[in-house]
Amino acid sequence: MIYGMVISLKRCIGCNSCTIACKHENGTGPGVFWRKVNITESGIYPAASMHSLPILCNHCENAPCAKVCPVNATMIDDNGIVFIDEKKCIGCRYCMTACPYNVRSYVTSNDQGYFEQGLTPYEKVAYQKHTVGTVEKCTFCSQRLDEEGGIPACVLTCPAKALFFGDLDDPEGPLVKLLADNPNYRTLLPDAGTQPKVFYI
């Protein structure tokens, strides 16, 4: 089984529900976004239009972040998910420089909340999961995938049903059929040669 994601740009409405769902599920602190939605505009009124582009870790087969890590803290597991071993990570941030998608974050604090009166009970628990001085990123919500029918929080939350998650190795699976039936591209940066597991249709 190799996990992958398909994002429908026709369906995405730029609401950022996926961004909020990711922050809630993973308890990331202020300024840390494991996924985001870039909004751009084109045209001139009255023919102007808005374009939404969700961006997250592409879980690349040829991951440059893994190649530059001096302590092998970034690895690719058997199901294709690129992950970081926080116990090995020394915070050098080489991987952040190597990532062509700019989707990694460095943890500078786990005691700074969103509100001036201190951490909320949720923040006190969630932020302790993040080790100061290490790098983090999207994991496809690997903690949810062990559950029956588990899918990432962003996919579950998307109100426009623009996100699809599944097994890229299953020729009869919904993800493979979706890619076969729709024109798609595999990467935002084809010259990077990263072979991502995130596709756009």
Full residue range of the structural domain in which residue 123 is found: 3-200
pLDDT given for residue 148 in this prediction: 65
Q: What's residue 115's pLDDT? A: 86
Nearest to 68 by CA among 41, 100, 26: 100
| Residues with Cβ within 8 Å of residue 112, at least 6 apart in sequence | 29, 30
pLDDT digits (tens, 9 = 90+) for 26-82: 999 998 999 999 999 999 999 999 999 999 999 999 999 999 999 999 999 999 999
Q: What is the mean pLDDT of residues 145-149?
A: 76
Query: Residue 18 pLDDT > 90, yes or no?
Result: yes
What is the pLDDT confidence band of residue 142, given thresholds at 50, 70 and 90? very high
- 121 CB-side CA count, 13 A: 0
Q: How many domains does the chain have?
A: 1
Band of the pLDDT at 158, cuts 50, 70, 90? Answer: very high
Task: Give the residue-averaged pLDDT of 125-149.
Answer: 91
Q: Which two tokens stand for residue 133?
A: 């001085």
pLDDT single digits (tens) 81-93: 999 999 999 999 9
Share of the chain above pLDDT 90, in %: 87
CATH number at residue 118: 3.30.70.20
Of the pLDDT bands very low, low, confident and very high (cuts 50, 70, 90), residue 146 is: confident
Q: What is the DSSP letter of 3?
A: E
pLDDT score recorded for residue 180: 94
Amino acid 118: pLDDT:
87
pLDDT in tens, 169-201: 999 999 999 999 999 888 778 788 899 999 999
Residues 6+ apart with CB under 8 A from 195: 60, 61, 62, 186, 187
Burial class (CB in 10 A: 0-12, 13-18, 19+), 67: exposed
Beta bridge partners of 136: 105
